[in-house]
Amino acid sequence: LRGRALRDLSILLAVMLGILLVHPTMGVLIGVVLSCLLFITDMARPMIVARGTGATLLSRRGRSAHDMDLLRQYGGRTLVLRLQGVLFFGNGDDLDTELRRLEPQFDTVILDMRRVSDIDATGNKLLNDMSNRLAKNGRSLCIAGLTPELALFLGQAIQTAPDLDAALERFEEKSLGEGVNSTLAQDDLEFLATLPADRREVFARAIEHRDYAAGDVLCRLGDPGDGMWIVLTGSISVRVQSTSGALRVAGIASGAPAGELALLEGSPRSADLVADGALQTLYLSTSAFETLSHDAPDIGQAIITWIAVITAQRLRSSSEALRFAASE
């Protein structure tokens, strides 16, 4: 909306200057010409500027390596289209035609509309018709990143998300069949699977069980980095402070570590960690990890390898997201 308002203001100023400096007729003519040029520009710009799938575009929600592999395997059923400009009668048909061509290959369609500056009545009707058509065929449509002002005119049946990451996370959870209360047994942790029973017992003696209620703060930005959590049940929100308050930048699901870099580096916490709901975790302190690495190097190495694999997968996902965001 800001871009649209600036364009309208520019036209208004040009018209006023034409009226004041030349002649009222010239001012009107300038306004008509500029409006036509902007209309032609909107018509010429492609509505779809990037395409992706859930196999390469993953949310920032921290997951186990196994779950991330599953999402890369089955995420191809989610289509992501990034749109830009103004959605109106002049380009709506092109979007609808392209979606009709692609939708048989997918179960879910996410439209990333963060860069859509305006939608006219025809565009709103088009989105509602798309949603109804997909629903009748057993598919889902989600609109992500649309400003609250524009979202007011969407039909109530259309799913919306504040941004692309939130939309991806929602459908990832649906694909994995997980929820806030998903549970993982301690022995099911990936790095323990390769260890014999006696080594698992050594690890069990080194950790603490820590439970939290919804809204409990596990740590705050700047706190000493004295260990890491491993989520067994529930999930964690990663939050940073912004000018508008606490901003959720990522999530951590069961089977994934939280605060693992502080464990390895000993650096202060880089964000707040908050329990989304009832949360059960294992906590491995820095001192306990150092003891494990010295007395049971195979366990220490297994933990480091596990963290390295998950970190590499997160970096890969971040690279794909940046590539998608930078596409024009």
Whole-number Å distance between alpha carbons of 4 and 118: 7
Architecture of domain 186-326: Sandwich (2.60)
Q: Which residue has the tokens 């048989």?
A: 104
pLDDT-above-90 percentage for the chain: 49
**Mean residue pLDDT across the chain:** 86
Q: Pseudo-torsion of CA 217, 221, 222, 226, nearest 10°?
A: 50
Residue with the bigger pLDDT between 112 and 117: it is 112
Which residue would you say has higher pLDDT here, 299 or 4? Answer: 299
Q: Residue 210: is its pLDDT beyond 50?
A: yes
CA gap 259, 270 in Å, rounded? 9
How would residue 135 be classed by pLDDT, with cut points 50, 70 and 90?
very high
* Mean pLDDT confidence for 150-160: 81
**What pLDDT is stored for residue 44 in this prediction?**
52
Whole-angstrom distance, CA of residue 271 vs CA of residue 247: 10
Position 280 confidence tier, pLDDT thresholds 50, 70, 90: very high
Tens of pLDDT along 59-70?
999 998 889 888
Tell me: pLDDT of 182 over 70.
no
pLDDT above 70 for 86: yes
Per-residue pLDDT at 179 exceeds 50? no
Averaged over 239-258, what is the pLDDT? 88
CATH of 48-176, one of 3.40.50.300, 3.40.50.970, 3.30.750.24, 3.50.50.60: 3.30.750.24
Beta strands 140-144 and 108-119, pairing class: parallel
Question: DSSP code of 207?
Answer: -
